[in-house]
Amino acid sequence: MANVVVVGAQWGDEGKGKIVDWLSNEADVVVRFQGGHNAGHTLVVDGKVFKLALLPSGIVRGKLSVIGNGVVVDPHHLIDEIAKIETQGIVVSPDTLAIAENVTLILPLHRELDAHRESAMASGVQIGTTKRGIGPAYEDKVGRRAIRLSDLAEPDTLDEKIARLLAHHEPLRRGLGLEPVTAQAIRDDLLAVAPKILPFMRATWDHLETLRRDGKRILFEGAQGALLDVDQGTYPLVTWSNRVAAIAATGSGLGPKAIGYVLGIAKAYTTRVGGGPFPTELHDEIGQLIGDRGHEYGVNTGRRRRCGWFDAVLVRQTVKTSGIDGIALTKLDILDGFETIKVCTGYRLDGRLIERFPASQAAQARVEPVYETIEGWSGTTANARSWADLPAQAIKYVRRIEELIGAPVALLSTSPERDDTILVHNPFRD
């Protein structure tokens, strides 16, 4: 039985929350291994909507949910998110939630710095950060000056760690014209949240390895998408950490042998939030229609997503960089009723035909999509739960995507509801 890693195969917002929730029925534990609370996951269970940002999706099913060391944690947001989901009837306790003792904490000064930087940028070069402090927290992690969860359990050591942190931030804040922050304010804030989050602290890497050796099924839940990966994405308009499947090992504290099946999530079209290249973006009424039908607004930010046709070049590239074994294709129903549908099969760059997305930012801005036009379907795919429920032309569309990206469709999602899913291959069993 393979442990399963779920990664976004596009720029995020592919519907990972529903797929992870669906798969968690087969899992014993669900692990978040990177990112922060900037990526929202929406789950719809029996008509009830759960919106998660930091908590792993398995928490809704009462499965052991782990926040791994690769995540950066805003303790205030975590406390608020736990309180909110408990009002919806979900029990969150140390039996169902474990947080790695070595996670980096997002502090108020990180949020303030993040917001100032983004606001100060010219509109044409803004990354589109959610201004939640994720980036600056990762910077401090790499700079070896971060405050980690385990530090809260040793308050006598905090003064030295805060001094090291402020040795970097004080001159930076002065240069940016930001108000100074005191060591005492940081210390008081940390000690106030400590009693609320320390009960969840655990040596998660050790516990996960024990579970793995015992044959428990582990589901690794990725956030955002591989095209936002700091190495493999559309740099510099990317997120602050790695998003490809390999990071599931380092972000959870397990070795690479812990990864079995890699499931990529992709929409039947393409969306992106914030700035950055988007070769198949539609600026017309079709793009508007797709966005309206798909309710393409950020879960956490409410920002409207940019919409375009399915880009097989980008997904094919992600299949290779993440080692994807199968794809969960989501939101096929949004394309119901289109007479024709376009799929990007390649690009033209300075008059040359290429079949990959270039690394150069300038070249990424110049590529022009090469489309293949596919006949649409008049019937509905919404709420379908078997291939027999799908129009023949919709099946042809799915099969053509498989050919173009070089990976099979393992799951097909036809609505936000948990059970409106067509299973082709079970990643845990097949």
The answer, yes or no, to whether residue 422 has pLDDT greater than 90, is yes
Most confident of 4-8, 44-48, 119-123, 224-228: 4-8
The pLDDT of residue 163 is 97
71-101 pLDDT, tens digit each: 999 999 999 999 999 999 999 999 999 999 9
Please confirm, yes or no, whether 207 is among the known catalytic residues. Answer: no
Residues 132/239, Cβ–Cβ less than 8 Å: no
pLDDT reported for residue 128? 53
pLDDT of 401 > 90? The answer is: yes
Which is the catalytic residue, given 13, 21, 229, 333? 13
pLDDT confidence of residue 121: 61
Determine whether 41 is an active site residue: yes
Segments of 377-417 assigned E as strands: 409-413
Cα gap 381→392, rounded to integer Å:
10
Rounded CA-CA distance 119/81 in Å is 26
What pLDDT band is residue 173 in, cutting at 50, 70 and 90? very high
pTM (two decimals): 0.91
**36 residue type, one letter:** G
User: pLDDT averaged over the chain?
Assistant: 92
Integer Cα distance of 127 and 237 in angstroms: 5
Question: What's the whole-number mean pLDDT along residues 361-381?
Answer: 96
- Of the candidates 37, 41, 77, 110, the residue annotated as catalytic is 41
